[in-house]
Structure 1
Amino acid sequence: MAGRALVTGAASGIGRAIAERLVADGWRVFAVDLAPDETGPGEPFAADLATRDGNRAAVDAAVERFGGLDALVANAGFQHVSPFADFDEDRWDALVAVLLTSPFLLARYAWPHLRESGEGRIVVLASVHGLVASPFKAGYVAAKHGVVGLVKTLALEGAADGIRAVAICPGYVGTPLVERQVVAQAEQRGISEDEALREVLLEPQAIRELIEPEEVANVAAFLLGPGGRAFTGAPVVLDNGWTAR
């Protein structure tokens, strides 16, 4: 299966790797980001996914450009590390807006086009933190748990129209977002960045290695392809053994 896909957070990290892989597989990709890279894969489009207008504009522009949509990959996100007692309320609102409300809005606006496709696919990057928690990440963990529930509901309601929805739940991936988390965790705990990476971030994993963005892209490509037809309504976990504990 190759068709027309909208990918958010496509300028760097996991989103860029997914967009690059889909383009290589023959997909037409509408690459959405707050500040898209015009030299990157797919057709760049700028949108603020923390707003309703931004999410609607992204879907409308993709449909106008491609004449429809066959797949939605909701990947855009960011992190905020803080003790709960000091967790900034504006950061909480922003995290929920981008990590949970944006996938809801994108799916809602794309729904009729995915239905028309006949075999629409929705892939949400939910993180292992959609299944487990870590300290100092209240907003991120809450939003990611929520989006796993959203995906289950989308799968149940979309089944009659051939729409499949899956949440990818990776452990720590070597992206700029994780690099910033290492710095923040080191500052919070008063330790070195090397210690923060291995002894804090990677400590829950049986294999203490970062996952590469391309590895996540491989999973997304499989889920969007013919082999992914039986996957819907469930988290797909690649976490180096984190949730085995």
Structure 2
Amino acid sequence: MADATDLSAPELSADDFLRLDDPYFEPTNVAIVTGAASGIGQATAVALAVNGLTVIGADIDAEGLAETGDLAESFDADGEYYGVETDLTDDEDVAAVVAAAAEEGQLRYVANIAGMQHIASIAEFPMAKYDLLTDIMLRSPFKMAQEAIPHIEATNDGVGAIGNMSSVHGHYATKDKSAYITAKHGLTGLTRAIAAEGGGTLRGFSVSVGYVLTPLMVNQIEDTAEERGISKQEVIENVMLGQARTKEMMTPAEVANLFAFGFSSHAKHLNGADLLFDGGYTHTYE
């Protein structure tokens, strides 16, 4: 493990991405990826473009969206990529980005990845932060599904999927992350509701991972260290990786590959369920 002071999110490379042979992975079919300006969202947008889909990246960070497009282009992606500056807490913005995506082809896929974190106990948690976090991570995915489902159902065969970024914190709780945990547990319900209403061709699934080395995670390491009064290295080794059996953080590209697989025809029986890649966090203990 590198010294915590040297931590930074890894740079993406063309070799990072799983490439799938799938009849639906072509530019006439469209995927929306939220949080596409950085981290897991950026990696997922690039992964889906590399796999031939037309990708609409939605994020409030216009500069980051442009960077995602540059990455897709540098990897000679078979699909197209368009970044749309979007405030995911604004229902009208969410509706507008879905409408824009539907104009580019048959909208079939949505990856709800945008997220944030705030470290504080329940007693000290600012309600403004709670509202912002749950608006981005729970309300926005619901609204995105509400807007996207009619378009997916209107395709020639109704085949599509909505994938939600969950977490090990959608399976269990730890202290000082109450809003995040609430949102991730709520996404489990939304995922199952999408599956229940999808008729078998429109699927809902979630992806749960442990700790991923993203810019958000680098910030969280610093926040957790301050909150608990320990070093950043202790946060990584004892708090984040202490319970895991796989002693390394995942990369954004590894998570992006799970979304690519989940959207593919290879995962047609993945419906209402969760892809749990957590290094042993959830089902093992000391």
TM-score higher than 0.5 = yes
Deviation at 1:22, TM superposition (A): 0.8
SS of 1:211's partner is coil
Structure holding more helix per residue:
1
Deviation at 1:164, TM superposition (A): 0.4
Pairing of 1:95-134 with structure 2 (within 5 A): 95-117=133-155, 118-134=158-174
Pairing of 1:149-160 with structure 2 (within 5 A): 149-159=189-199
Pairing of 1:1-245 with structure 2 (within 5 A): 1-2=24-25, 3-36=29-62, 37-41=65-69, 42-64=81-103, 66-117=104-155, 118-159=158-199, 162-245=201-284
Larger radius of gyration: 2
| CA distance in structure 2 between the partners assigned to 1:198 and 1:180 by the alignment | 16
Deviation at 1:208, TM superposition (A): 2.5
Structure 2 unmatched runs, 5+:
1-23, 70-80
Structure 1 unmatched runs, 5+:
none
Deviation at 1:202, TM superposition (A): 1.8
Deviation at 1:197, TM superposition (A): 1.3
User: 2:160, 2:263 within 8 Å by CA — same for their partners in 1?
Assistant: no
SS of 1:159's partner is coil
| CA distance in structure 2 between the partners assigned to 1:17 and 1:104 by the alignment | 22
Q: What amino acid is the match of 2:171?
A: L
| CA distance in structure 1 between the partners assigned to 2:186 and 2:66 by the alignment | 32
Q: What amino acid is the match of 2:234?
A: E
User: 1:51, 1:97 within 8 Å by CA — same for their partners in 2?
Assistant: no
| CA distance in structure 1 between the partners assigned to 2:217 and 2:93 by the alignment | 25
| CA distance in structure 2 between the partners assigned to 1:100 and 1:10 by the alignment | 17
The runs of at least 4 aligned residues of structure 1 exceeding 4 Å deviation read: none
Identity %: 37
| CA distance in structure 2 between the partners assigned to 1:218 and 1:172 by the alignment | 16
